Structure 1
Amino acid sequence: MADAAATIVTTPTRDALPRIMSDFATLGAALDYAATGARGLNFHDARGNPLRAYTFAELQSDACAMARRLMGRGVVKGDRIALIAETGAEFATLFFGCIYAGAWPVPLPLPTSFGGRDSYVDQLQVQLDSSDPKMLFYPAELAAMAGAAAEAKGVEGHAWEDAAEWAVKDSPLPETVSDDIAYLQYSSGSTRFPHGVAVTHRALLSNLAAHSHGMEVRETDRCVSWLPWYHDMGLVGCLLSPVANQVSTDYLKTEDFARRPLAWLDLISRNEGTTLSYSPTFGYDICARRISSQTHAEDRFDLSRWRVAGNGADMIRPDVMQAFVDAFEPAGFKASAFLPSYGLAEATLAVSIMPPGEGIVVELVEETELSGKDEAVGRPQRYRAVVNCGKPVRDMLVEVRDEDGGILPERAIGKMFAKGASIMTGYFRDPEATEACLSGGWLDTGDMGYLSDGYVYIVGRAKDMIIINGKNHWPQDIEWAVEQLPGFKSGDIAAFAITTPGGEETPAVLVQCRTTDDAERSRLREDIKERVRSITGMNCVVELVPPRTLPRTSSGKLSRAKARNQYLSGEIQPYAMAA
């Protein structure tokens, strides 16, 4: 394998093609331009060895041929084509083949380690119901599961290889304009009641231009990514943006990162041009944890060229970011490289981005401000560190509103609204859901936060709020409190509100527990109750559950709503209390 990899020359970081920052009418036009240069996409094995260099020129040629194959099979403009989003040349070819054919690619998730075959097939069926595609494409190894979902919904199911055998239809490609839909993006929380975000070419290119200017993309930039292509940060930020901004990019599969997270940093170190790479907080967390006290990061890694270490997609944890700096500063990593951001699929991707070089900036917010209530008499003041998520990107407006829709002043916490050229036109075939979050071009993001000196601060999801005795509590605060106990990490804890048999609202905390000793479990329950009481002043129900029990969204984030539903329905079975 190593000898074969040594013969593969990855695409160059620089070439002679003048860079155009996403200033195109359509995504197809962006790829047409990128194809006139030498840059492209590079796919690597689990150890970071190159498997395939795929130039933008090859991608463009293959995608045009694929478009004509799809048209030969009866695909017409506006048809949806569902694609299991495995990181590789096959997905990229089919995605852009759909773009050239005027069809709408619909990236769908790979199976995760959470749940089994049946839950994955169910998830695909729900999303196939929602998107109503003509075809579903999948890797051959997923034929049993994806094929079953397609068959159940009357959708044509095909392995990647099938399309390569189809005849090319010798006819002109359809005309595409900026206001045509480019693709459907399912947001990560849309597992059971999916919302397919319809993204136009205009919205996409506007957002790509905004965030490439916001990151100050340079001629010398190169990207490394392990992010999944069914999530907006992976698809838009790390596949479509490199095409529209002509950036050579190196990929690890998401499952390979999960098994060998430090291969991400190896790949950044090995490629002298790498300057851009993004991750949610948990990616930085797992890397910092994998470096043992016996390992000298400077002996293995060179992270000195990493200019933009982007962070987004979940709550940004300053303690995790500091742990990453502590672990990798000896290898040349600069804390100023951190680039927090805030975004969501309904805004195509980015709403706000930290100006490069400013790093992690934290404000301490007193918990009574977070809860919206007057300070409790006799209680010591407690603070939460809230991370600055940057300034609204170009052509994006952000407002903070109260429950009645009134605009709040700076530093007042309320519901976040955004308006701009890259805000979605609506959810696919779901006018009620669209009307519930869009009005007058303003998007209700569903997030709570505030503005300070023009910067955006996010404090949590409005729907996750726990309200006890009229006071608001953020589940993150409870979860973070438990995580400070030895043996727990981010993702082990889910906090939410339940109603007791007596009719009272109370917080419940599900904690993934690895010990099998009954006495140790009893001690843990008491320690957790005491920790939550000391931080929040609340008594809570503590349930210990087996490892890998807590449900995740398709992008790997904890789903508190699903955890609550599964707990109340009995699907999640806690460990029994010792007699």
Structure 2
Amino acid sequence: MTARLQNDAAGQDPAGARNGQAPGPASASRPPVPPPLVPTPNDCPLPRRRSDFPTFTDAVDYAARSEKGMNFHDMRGTLERVYTFAEMREDALASARRLLAAGIRPKDRVAMVAETAPEFAALFCGAVYAGAWPVPLPLPTTFGGKDSYIEQLAIQLQSCDPKLLLYPAEIADMAEAAVQRQGCGGIDWEGFAEKDAPECDLPEARPEDICYLQYSSGSTRFPTGVAVTHEALLNNLAGHAEATDAGRDDRVVSWLPWYHDMGLVGCFLSLIANQMSVDYLKTEHFARRPLAWLDLISRNKGNTLSYSPTFGYDICARRISSQSNVAERFDLSRWRTAGNGADMIRPDVMQNFVNAFAPAGFRARAFTPSYGLAEATLAVTVMPPGEGIRVELVEEEKLSGAPRNLARPVRYRAIVNCGKPVKDMVVEIRDEQGAERADHQIGKVWCRGPSVMHSYFRDEDATRDCLVDGWLDTGDMGYMADGYLFIVGRAKDMIIINGKNHWPQDIEWAVEQLPGFNHGDIAAFSIEADNGEESPAVLVHCRVSDPDERVKLRDQIRDKVRSITGMNCVVELVPPRTLPRTSSGKLSRAKAKRMYLAGDIQPLDLAA
């Protein structure tokens, strides 16, 4: 019967079947061809609401009335799974009932390894329906190996103290090892889906309730979880939708991980609360085939919103050679919002991307710089649509706070405009005494608004340190100009030598200009010498094997850094892939410094 229906559908009934005879053996053995998957639409009759819901569960309920949803693709960009918001809601409600049947109660934490998959989406929303607090945790990376991941997972489990860890079966060995250290329960997704889901009443969420815990990769207090309420989440999602003017025929394409705030909030939760269809690539698939991201954007017939840290644009531009015909492969003409955030935005990288993909229709004004952090749920400022990247050249003396040295030529640094505060958010620049600074005066960035976090989970001291009278101390340095925010760098990363401030980004960027280096190959920080004075140290990935060439490279780097800082520095060449990354893929200077001082990063031997 299956073969007959398949042939009917194909309009190719065998002659024997038309004459009332049984089909021949070849026809009978032919496997059925599944119908082609149809991605969820960009728009549907249900009116769009910009995250104007009292709770996130209300947002899920409303999104499920639409025809929109999530579309999961393989490494080559082939559609593998269509998952409507309606189907996700049904699975989430079943997950909520399973959690309650397993003894999970409101305010309990449910940790879950955040793979980009339908299972995680349903489990996250299911935990929220059950009144529990989902805690997204990272997948293993190629850095550090199995033992390192188990240690990281165990530390985060200890921090959030969950009743249960849910994880994909393929990492069962590592997840179970971490669970045994913590003493909580653990089960893989498939096993959990087989548990009973008896009918029961679900708790009713309130706007002021905690919705989830989010670990901030940029936090100096890692691994403290950021507690985000329903009202904070929805306020930030509404502000982001308004800032990007989310509307008709918009569709999102994303490869960002769901254990980082930009991926979790900006490219998962936001799409539910603002009813937008999305096409997903897994992060590890993007790492192997980054241009598949642009292939997906090219196939989208709607207006595309897609986001990436600087390194995502960088790697795509590097993959394009001068012989590549990008106009034949890509169509980026409908990419209206190319979001950029999560690390320092580099104008040179963005220009390289424009140079590489302008022939495919990419417009520089599509770039949408932004600034945010998990402690503010996600977005603090966003560049208005169509304004693109705007850069100011600032004298380095103004950045460092040192008096102008007339004996040296003026040096400038390009500072990117990160946009205007989102709806209901207020931003101030303050000096060390807490006084507000005027336009173009650099200081600490503070923000206040309904989407600022509730607290750091079970860490009152850390919460008091950064939340003062409703204001959040972001730990970042910047200045305001005509209502726009310019980010200069992280205060905690600043290198202070002889009373002069040096931004590690300046040193790293200078070394990157030497041949053979990529973004993320260099980590700069300060160390204390034997005499108690601080000096800059630079760790550099080295791909050179010849001992003499290594010495030349070290000296070349030292000269380059001296030209920036005016001082000698420690230069250590380390093996490739040695420098640690945060959960979002960014270089972690603080961790690199700790590992170096502890001897966990071993420099390469040099002849001299």
TM over 0.5: yes
> 1:47-126 counterparts in 2 under 5 A?
47-126=76-155
Provide the aligned length of Structure 1 versus Structure 2: 577
Give the 3-state SS of the residue equivalent to 2:455 in structure 1: coil
Contact 1:71 1:169 in 2 (8 A): no
Q: Which moved more, 1:205-214 or 1:266-275?
A: 266-275
Structure 1 runs (4+) greater than 3 angstroms displaced: 3-6, 189-193
Give the 3-state SS of the residue equivalent to 2:228 in structure 1: strand
Uncovered stretches (5+) of structure 1, i.e. residues with no partner: none
In 2, distance between residues paired with 1:439 and 1:192? 17
Contact 1:77 1:103 in 2 (8 A): yes
User: Match of 1:310?
Assistant: 339
1:228 to 234, 239, 257: 257
Larger radius of gyration: 2
- Does residue 305 of structure 2 align to residue 263 of structure 1? no
1:369-396 alpha-carbon deviations (Å, 9 max, x no partner): 0001111230111010000000000100
1:359 to 378, 388, 396: 388
- Distance apart, 1:504 and its partner CA: 2.3
1:8-37 alpha-carbon deviations (Å, 9 max, x no partner): 111011111100000001111001001111
Aligned-CA RMSD value = 1.2
> 1:381-420 counterparts in 2 under 5 A?
381-420=410-449
1:211-268 alpha-carbon deviations (Å, 9 max, x no partner): 1000000111000000000000000000000000000000000000000000000010
User: Match of 1:144?
Assistant: 173
2:311 to 282, 291, 300: 282
- Does residue 494 of structure 2 align to residue 465 of structure 1? yes
In 1, distance between residues paired with 2:478 and 2:567? 24
In 1, distance between residues paired with 2:327 and 2:270? 31
Give the 3-state SS of the residue equivalent to 1:113 in structure 2: coil
- Does residue 274 of structure 2 align to residue 245 of structure 1? yes
In 2 relative to 1, CA 4–20 (structure 1 residues): closer, same or farther, beyond 3 Å?
farther
> 1:130-529 counterparts in 2 under 5 A?
130-189=159-218, 193-529=222-558
Uncovered stretches (5+) of structure 2, i.e. residues with no partner: 1-31
User: Match of 1:8?
Assistant: 37
Contact 2:215 2:222 in 1 (8 A): no
Identity rate of aligned residues, in percent?
67
TM-score, L = length of structure 2 = 0.94
Give the 3-state SS of the residue equivalent to 1:416 in structure 2: strand
Give the 3-state SS of the residue equivalent to 1:498 in structure 2: strand
Give the 3-state SS of the residue equivalent to 2:103 in structure 1: coil
User: Match of 2:74?
Assistant: 45
Letter in 2 for 1:248: S
User: Match of 2:562?
Assistant: 533
In 1, distance between residues paired with 2:35 and 2:558? 55
- Distance apart, 1:164 and its partner CA: 1.1
- Distance apart, 1:4 and its partner CA: 7.5
- Distance apart, 1:274 and its partner CA: 4.6
In 1, distance between residues paired with 2:34 and 2:323? 30
In 2, distance between residues paired with 1:235 and 1:5? 32
Give the 3-state SS of the residue equivalent to 1:571 in structure 2: coil
- Distance apart, 1:193 and its partner CA: 3.6
Contact 1:261 1:287 in 2 (8 A): yes
Contact 1:191 1:553 in 2 (8 A): no
Letter in 2 for 1:349: L
In 2, distance between residues paired with 1:43 and 1:192? 34
Contact 2:251 2:302 in 1 (8 A): yes
In 2, distance between residues paired with 1:320 and 1:438? 34
